[in-house]
Chain A
Amino acid sequence: MSERLTMVTGRTRKQAIGMHKGKDSPEYREATGLVEMNPEDMARLNIEDGGQVLIRTAEGEVELTAHAGSLPAGLVFVPMGTLVNRLIGTETMGTGMPSFKGQTVDIAPVGEREGSS
């Protein structure tokens, strides 16, 4: 089952430390390869804490590790970085700023890609 949720991206402490180590470092990959979700959203979507999820937009798709976080229902948080930028469109609405916060995304546990709703 996949569902449409809203994504915000942003800085985390670990993302900043990983950036100094290099964007090909394990620290950076780990820090930017995750998505924080509302626990009830995770339960409904059959996503386990620490499990892999596939996130899709019209721009692309990425696999990230899901973690339960203190997010309101319907909202997911992904640390800024190379991975999440595959999901972000280039429309800036005349400002220069893409929608790094508020992009709608389709989320499903990995393995349920085929036949997802």
Chain B
Amino acid sequence: MSTVVEHVTCTFCGCLCDDLTVEAEGTEIRKVRLACSSGQGIFMDYDPRPRQPLVDGREVEWEEAVAEAAAILSASDSPLIYGLSSSASEAQRKAVALADRIGAVIDSTSSVCHGPTGLAMQAVGEPTCTLGEVRDRADLLVFWGCNPDASHLRHFPRFSLTAKGALTPNGRADRTVYVVDVRPTGSSKKADHFLQVDIGTDFEVLTTLRLLVKGLEPSVDIVGGVPVTELKELVERMKSCRYGVAFMGMGLTMASARQLNVAELFTLVAELNEFAKFSVIPMRGHGNVTGADQVLSWTTGYPFAVSFARGYPQFSPGEFSAVDMLARRAADAAVIIASDPGAHFPAAAAAHLERIPTIVLDHGPSVVASHAHVLFPTAAYGVDAAGTAYRMDNVPIPLKSVISTGRVTDEEILDRIIEAVA
């Protein structure tokens, strides 16, 4: 039977484009309209065949796999639950409930993307807005340490660079666009102005911008490789724009100074509101990494790196963040949900996942799944399971199930593990 489903959401990146059309023949997806090249694979490369769980590589019934997972977690003194960003918020809640039940540390992929952004928000606040406001109102865009042209391919046409809105009817022509980065990128080529900063100097450049906003004069002519005259020009545009928006990415969170870079940008944006309406939006990567922050924050009070070891939530990035837990060999079992730290962590941290028993929930193959002790092959939210995800601007977006495969969701498996460890 062939079906056409409209208004489908792509879960690959934090744009959560919800205007796709998917055509399927039974459980085979034949065509996806409007998804970018990064999002196409979510649907077109999905293997919809139902699979049995594996214990040590051996196919088993679901009861046995759940019992094995429960036995591993019951025997563990220091379990780690990690991932969450390609799952739905319904399952993220269950993951927190499991962490609470077994006294685990729970962390999401936030800790290796916008964790420092969360720390900056806690320190100085985050003056933000929605992508709808950007599309409708923004006449000045500053992309700092991010490259949507490679990472969020429909961000420019749907929300920012070329998007047409109520007060921006001419799209690109109604906006001035800056890119600040350490190297020229696809995004910088599309900007009106490119400021190339020396690596590791974002903080100094941002501080200089704050100084210029206050009307003070720096005692040098160049900061971080950028002539002060160019920074002055940017400040004049920032102060006189109608609605400015800064987008920031890993160029700030992964470089030296990390959360201090981000806090400096957030403070600059807050201070600009004395002169013009100005907001900032972090360019969140994975489809529902924002949801992981939301769910962890509303259930525990903290966005990532939370330990329930003492029976109540404690927050300590650098201690309860997954890379640190694994590098210190502090976890003696792990539940990995819809993510691949086996591929995306520094090798020495990933190696510890091969020393300890792992329970992996994933809808496709991954490095960490390839050596899981217990592997639960799940449905993919947004493909064969419905749910909720949070867009990068913290707007919740419904995910549809576009094919019926009968595969089991993360939420159902976590529920069964919670029951089994009780």
Residues of A within 8 A of B (CB): 6, 8, 10-13, 16-17, 19-23, 59-60, 69-72, 75, 77, 80-82, 85-86, 88-90, 92-102
Contacts and interface: CB of A to CB of B under 8 A. Distances in A.
A95 B114 CA distance: 10
A19 B41 contact: yes
B342 to A, nearest CB: 8
B47 to A, nearest CB: 10
A69 B327 CA distance: 34
B276 to A, nearest CB: 30
Given A13-B150, A85-B345, A102-B255, A71 B304 contact: no
Given A10-B150, A11-B150, A95-B115, A86 B183 contact: no
A10 B147 contact: yes
B323 A92 contact: yes
Contacts of B41: 16-17, 19-21
Contacts of A97: 111-112, 115-116, 253-254, 258, 321, 323
A97 to B, nearest CB: 6
Interface string B115-157: 1100100000000000000000000000000010011010000
B318 A96 contact: yes
A70 B183 contact: yes
Contact of A85 (B324, B346, B366): B346
Nearest to B149: A13
B343 A10 contact: no
Given A20-B45, A72-B196, A94-B318, A85 B256 contact: no
Contact of A98 (B42, B112, B153): B112
A16 B12 contact: yes
Nearest to B196: A72
B322 interface: yes
Interface stretch (B64-72, B89-97, B347-355): B347-355
Interface residues on B, range: 35 or more
A101 B250 contact: yes
Name which of B38, B345, B364 has the most chain A CB atoms within 10 A of its CB: B38
B182 to A, nearest CB: 6
B387 interface: no
Contacts of A94: 317-318
B5 interface: no
Given A8-B199, A101-B250, A59 B348 contact: yes
B253 A59 contact: no
Nearest to B259: A95
Contact of B366 (A8, A23, A86): A23
Given A95-B318, A96-B107, A10 B348 contact: no
Name which of A11, A71, A82, A89 has the most chain B CB atoms within 10 A of its CB: A11
B352 to A, nearest CB: 10
Given A20-B42, A97-B254, A100-B254, A89 B348 contact: yes
Given A23-B366, A97-B111, A97-B116, 4 more contacts: A16-B37, A81-B343, A90-B324, A93-B318
Contacts of B345: 85, 98
Interface in B381-415: none
Contacts of A16: 12, 37-38, 41, 151
B112 A96 contact: yes
Given A19-B41, A96-B304, A89 B199 contact: no
Interface string B232-253: 0000000000000000001101
B215 interface: no
B255 A23 contact: no
B311 interface: no
Contacts of A81: 343-344
Contact of B347 (A59, A70, A80, A95): A59
